A = this chain, B = another copy of it.
Amino acid sequence: MRSGERRAIAEAATLLEALRPGARELVTALGDYLGQALVVGFTGPPGAGKSTLVNAVVAELRRRGQTVAVIAVDPSSPVSGGAILGDRVRMTAASGDNGVFVRSLASRGSLGGLSPAAVRVIDALDGAGFDVVLLETVGTGQSEIDVAEIADVRVVIAAPGLGDDIQAMKSGHLEIADIVVVNKADLPGASITRAQLEAALAMRVGGHGIPVLTTSALQGSGIAELVTAVDRVGKERLAAGVVARRRRRARYLIARAAADLVARRIKEGGPAVLDALADEVLAGAQTPEGAAGMLLTRL
């Protein structure tokens, strides 16, 4: 795996994704090799041209001599899932380049968002020695917040024509961006979308320094500028050190496991307790928040 054998890398990724026997031993064995890769998150709504942009970024990184692994997280939507996986398989087959590795993952898991499996697969690809790991997710609330916790550099992708109002961006999801991209810059309205995003960023604390770049993944324009911007932010973030980055992933996995554990305990142990509290809420004697505090105490 460390010598770049693709089958070994694929097996390691699967081992960690599925938490098969030996997964823990593999992470321990990888030890000092972990935390070296720059992890770059790409999020954006369906229709923003995310996959095409990520493919263009991969090509540019290769041109600069960097090895790249891509983790494409499937939004778990039953039908569109297949299409994304299909595209990915085609892309990988076409590339025939040992410096690129692509893995598609379903975002299963009871709590939605980025799956712990995806975070473990980062370890496999980081341990395999790729310079950059690109994490591509559909922007659906939780997955963006998760990417913000895990990635060193966060790229948020928008496109003209997806919505005539940028209000929603102010209410939260622009907050996680290190770099904002208006993709499909060849479409009409790109400059308006860019201006709206810049105005929204100007209202955000610390938002003035966030670049809004325009790209056309199809025409190949703006890609070099985007990769340079990612590189600049990445250099700052890598300075935080290997331990800090590995700790961040471990903290995330623990917090997710804790949330799953609470959900499971509520489901298994608490139906009678929960029904009694629900009746108190229905009677107006208790708020759901107050009842939640009592529930946690009792479980």
Contact = CB atoms under 8 A, between A and B. Distances in A.
Interface of A: 24, 27-28, 44-48, 74-86, 106-113, 116, 138-143, 145, 156, 158-159, 162-169, 171-174, 243, 246-247, 250-251, 253-263, 266, 274-275, 277-279, 281-282, 284, 287-289, 291-293, 295-296
A144 to B, nearest CB: 8
Given A116-B288, A164-B82, A258 B295 contact: yes
Nearest to A283: B28
Given A48-B79, A111-B113, A254-B277, 11 more contacts: A77-B173, A78-B169, A81-B163, A82-B163, A82-B164, A83-B164, A86-B164, A111-B111, A112-B113, A140-B140, A251-B277
A284 B171 CA distance: 40
Contact residues of A: prevailing secondary structure: helix
A45 B78 contact: yes
A266 B258 contact: yes
Contacts of A253: 281, 288
A284 B22 CA distance: 12
Nearest to A77: B45
A51 B164 CA distance: 18
Contacts of A284: 24, 27-28
A74 B296 contact: no
Contact of A106 (B86, B168, B281): B168
A183 to B, nearest CB: 10
A168 B281 contact: no
A249 B219 CA distance: 50
Contacts of A287: 24
A292 B259 CA distance: 8
A76 B172 CA distance: 9
Given A108-B172, A164-B82, A296 B246 contact: no
Contacts of A262: 258-259, 262, 296
A282 B247 contact: yes
Contacts of A107: 141
Nearest to A78: B169
18 contacts: A44-B79, A45-B78, A77-B139, A78-B139, A80-B162, A81-B168, A82-B166, A86-B164, A86-B165, A108-B172, A110-B142, A140-B141, A247-B278, A247-B279, A251-B278, A257-B292, A258-B296, A261-B292
A281 to B, nearest CB: 4
B113 A142 contact: yes
A106 B171 contact: yes
